[in-house]
Structure 1
Amino acid sequence: MALMKFSLVTAILAIGLGITVDSFGEESWVVVVRAGDHDRVDTPVRIDLNAAPGAETQARVPSLATGPKPFLLKELSQDGKTLHDPIVAQIETLARESGPPVRLTWILKGMTAAGTERRFKAVSGQAVNATNPWTLSDPTAGPLVLKNRDRPFFQYNTRPVSHPDYPPIQTRDAYLHPAYTPSGALITGDFSRHHPHHRGIFLAYTKTQVGSDHPDFWNIQSGSGKVVFDRLDRAETGPVTARIESRHRWEAKGRGTVLNERWQIEAYDIPDSPYWVFDLTATQQATGASMELLPYRYGGMAYRGPEPFVKGPLDVLTSEGRNRLGGDQKPTRWVDLTGPVEEGSDRYGGAMILDHPSNVNHPTVARIHPILLPFFCYVPGHDVKVSIGSGEPTVFRYRVVIHDGRPDSKLNQRLWRDFAEPPVVVVESKAASR
């Protein structure tokens, strides 16, 4: 794990806020986190800093252009005193089409009660010594393998994955597998004899229409459609997050690429947590004729469990308190699917996927296979046709929680609120925040 050093933090934040270095150095500004209506525990928070353009920021601090950097924050009490040792946040510039160029991210550690706020100030004039908790493999050498504190997290497959027992038409890339719990248990499946086209954590649609054609991107054995990795835009790590940004092509037989897709994956380092957390945002845009998602019972963002899950028994819970049978074909905000990590074991693990309120037809209907297959998916076109056009992109946002143990409804509801109704983070003058 690499040791990162960074100074001039006051200058960076001052540029991002559009104020002078001297005024920030005199503690004129603080960053305020407001919990809102819910208790928070170890919650990821961030703020996009306004004002100065990214070009100016990078010109003054060129090292920011090379990726995320550590940034010290000290928490202040109501009387302005420092509460504890500084915490390490992450500061970076993001190449985006629009919006603020400087982003600050950190973990709001410990308990933050509903209705309260916490205040933070940049630590000026002090170098940052921070160990990067993340390791990403060389993207030119094969699939991207992400580790956290030397523990395997997941593998993002950028090259076609084949199996000797299945024909070449069943090869696929652009999905996550294997993925592991924090204790190291495998919780994704691939090339199962029960539906080998189910591939770890993946996204594909089943019943579609593009012009006069009906490509099926889910059942790739049909040969009518397949999602293909195109290119890697970004793969980088910092003191708080690891980020992968990539492009996929949705290819239909006889038509070529009918849909372009961008994946943005961002994983959060939450030390000593019994779960991993990462966000997966899929941005889709048709290349010509719109892709119509016709009403059908499955197809969308999906999770497939490993072989020990097949014999189960599975323990499944939805946000409405339903189990595997009761939750199938019902709208929901989250689904948590767990099973024995080894055949016959009472040790469980699994994954929960949270459906963001901004998604099409949220709360989205979930297909949870009721008898044999350890999988579920969100189906935006379950009851009504959904059109993905060539103009404004269609964006789907999900948060994935990989964990040891069985579903915990109280924990899951808290994680859902952190995703759907995150704390408000603002910058205020020191006088105004008192």
Structure 2
Amino acid sequence: MKNKLTQSIAIVLLLILSLPLRGQVLARMNVKSGNSKRVNTTVNATIRLSLLPVTDSLQLFEVLRDRSVPTPFQIIGDKLYWIMSGVTAPGNTRKYELRKALPEVPSVAMHVTDSNGALVLGKGSRKLLQYNYSIAEPPAGVDKIYRRSGFIHPLWAPDGQIITNIHPKGHWHHMGIWNPWTHTSFRGKETDFWNLHKKEGTVRFKGLIGKTAGPVICGFKALQEHIAFIDKEETVAMTEEWTVNVFHPGTDTTRFIWDLSSILNCADTAGITFLQYRYGGGFGLRTTAAWTATNSEVVTSEGNTRNNADSTRARWIKITGHTDKGQAGLVIMNHPDDFDAPQPVRVWPANSERGEIMMNFSPTKMKAWQLKYGQYYQQAYRVVTFVNDLTKEEVEELWLDYVRPPEVTVYQQEPPSR
């Protein structure tokens, strides 16, 4: 009996050794939560792709004390992305392994659909946001100067409510989520890319650079042009690269997180100056007309509301509205590396414009910003859409996820020769 058992063990070991690549660990990652509680946090690690086999034979596992848990992942460029699912308490470390040739892990893909001049980013059957690269026509009877492309609308809450608005009455130039600059000096002339009725400038989609889809992230990269109308001719004053990425929400589908990065580059040797002004550039938002002074709330990281937020600085701003479809909202964060961060905000008071909401992170509200030819200038924002509400503590946790993400340590070695 002992000999048979010994023989059986030897046969099993022989089979394992004869297949050295099955389940082979290619990289190990330790993720430290730091001083913050982490909830369904997307993390990433830089990996050496030259050391990996083809990506369709890779699988990621979280290594627990008694088992390994399959974890959806996505490789973009030289980075490996995945979701640290559930709640991770402060001071904890979670361990992951990237392995070769294990069964594929079923997952719901984050996808991009190209249809009717727009990119729709979604998860499964849920639509999350729409980027419009084709020209959106203004309402019938409104001046054609308000034609625009290169903006986000609709933005959907996780329950399907549309929470943005375009071409609102009296402000036909407001386009969901957009970021044209208002008071600028270009070639010695004042140029306004925001107020289209002045016929000094506009912003247009130029071309699609790429799209991303997969188990963890979906998004796109697009090129836009800021066009100045000078002496009845169109001149490209700036090019702008928009990168938008939406992240899988993990185990909580009551909120979605997405990032917007804007990289500006002067297209003219003269450069351009964004003059000090009360609004413009940064992140512009016009919310649904259904949110008014009677059923909505605005609060900033510093505790200011619609009554006193205008012209104050904020790391983030939260907007919540209630309709007959329920309560929903969004948080917009500006990154500490942005120009003049934490950036000043422009917020309409509750007693103006029918009580509707327009907000703008306005980088040049306090001081001018000169952009030089041949240099690149980046601004980054994170948006969280949610249903019901988020407490200040929850928003602060999300803020720390953005500016102080978990620390990831990668252990990757040359694979053994066969």
Pairwise TM-score range, normalised by the shorter structure: 0.7 to 0.9
Tell me which residue corresponds to 2:5.
none
Residues 74 and 82, structure 1, Cα contact 8 Å, conserved in 2: no
- State the Cα distance separating 1:132 from its structure 2 match: 4.1
Residues 246 and 264, structure 1, Cα contact 8 Å, conserved in 2: yes
Alignment counterpart, residue 123 of structure 2, candidates 138, 148, 159: 148
Residues 111 and 214, structure 2, Cα contact 8 Å, conserved in 1: no
Once the two structures are superposed, the pairs formed by residues 34-53 of structure 1 within 5 Å of their partners are: 34-50=32-48, 52=50
Once the two structures are superposed, the pairs formed by residues 155-174 of structure 1 within 5 Å of their partners are: 155-162=130-137, 163-174=139-150
Change (3 A) 1:110 1:157: same
Do residues 72 (structure 1) and 70 (structure 2) align? no
One-letter identity of the residue aligned with 1:352:
V
Residues 295 and 323, structure 2, Cα contact 8 Å, conserved in 1: no
Residues 318 and 329, structure 2, Cα contact 8 Å, conserved in 1: yes
Alignment counterpart, residue 340 of structure 1, candidates 322, 330, 336: 322
- State the Cα distance separating 1:326 from its structure 2 match: 2.1
Q: In the TM superposition, what whole-angstrom CA distance separates every residue of 1:281-315 from its partner, at most 9, and x where no partner exists?
A: 00001112222111111112111101112454321
Once the two structures are superposed, the pairs formed by residues 30-179 of structure 1 within 5 Å of their partners are: 30-50=28-48, 52=50, 61=54, 71-77=58-64, 81=65, 83-92=67-76, 94=77, 102-138=78-114, 141-162=116-137, 163-179=139-155
One-letter identity of the residue aligned with 1:327:
A
Tell me which residue corresponds to 1:417.
400
2:260 alignment partner, SS class: strand
2:189 alignment partner, SS class: coil
Once the two structures are superposed, the pairs formed by residues 196-345 of structure 1 within 5 Å of their partners are: 196-254=172-230, 256-271=235-250, 272-288=252-268, 289-300=270-281, 301-310=283-292, 312-342=294-324
- Greater alpha carbon shift after TM alignment, 310-319 vs 245-254: 310-319
- CA-atom RMSD in angstroms: 2.3
Change (3 A) 1:50 1:340: same
1:302 alignment partner, SS class: strand
Do residues 195 (structure 1) and 171 (structure 2) align? yes
1:169 alignment partner, SS class: helix
Separation in structure 1 between the aligned mates of residue 68 and residue 97 of structure 2, nearest angstrom: 12
Residues 315 and 407, structure 1, Cα contact 8 Å, conserved in 2: no
One-letter identity of the residue aligned with 2:318:
D
- State the Cα distance separating 1:368 from its structure 2 match: 1.0
2:84 alignment partner, SS class: strand
Greater Cα radius of gyration, structure 1 or 2? 2
- State the Cα distance separating 1:22 from its structure 2 match: 7.0
Residues 228 and 237, structure 2, Cα contact 8 Å, conserved in 1: yes
One-letter identity of the residue aligned with 2:240:
E
- State the Cα distance separating 1:24 from its structure 2 match: 11
1:419 alignment partner, SS class: helix
Residues 186 and 341, structure 1, Cα contact 8 Å, conserved in 2: no
Tell me which residue corresponds to 1:428.
411
Q: List runs of 5+ in structure 2 lacking aligned partners.
A: 1-18, 414-418
- State the Cα distance separating 1:116 from its structure 2 match: 1.7
Give the structure-2-normalised TM-score. 0.86
One-letter identity of the residue aligned with 1:30:
R
Instruction: Count the aligned residue pairs.
Output: 384
Separation in structure 2 between the aligned mates of residue 259 and residue 399 of structure 1, nearest angstrom: 23
Residues 277 and 401, structure 1, Cα contact 8 Å, conserved in 2: yes
Change (3 A) 1:361 1:24: farther
One-letter identity of the residue aligned with 2:73:
A
- State the Cα distance separating 1:339 from its structure 2 match: 1.9
Residues 314 and 339, structure 1, Cα contact 8 Å, conserved in 2: yes
Change (3 A) 1:400 1:190: same
Tell me which residue corresponds to 2:363.
380
**After TM superposition, what 4+ stretches of structure 1 lie above 4 angstroms from structure 2?**
21-29
Separation in structure 2 between the aligned mates of residue 351 and residue 205 of structure 1, nearest angstrom: 23
Give me the identity figure in percent: 26
Separation in structure 1 between the aligned mates of residue 222 and residue 24 of structure 2, nearest angstrom: 42
Separation in structure 1 between the aligned mates of residue 338 and residue 20 of structure 2, nearest angstrom: 43
Q: In the TM superposition, what whole-angstrom CA distance separates every residue of 1:187-228 from its partner, at most 9, and x where no partner exists?
A: 001111141211111111111111211111111121101111
Give the structure-1-normalised TM-score. 0.83
Separation in structure 2 between the aligned mates of residue 183 and residue 393 of structure 1, nearest angstrom: 38
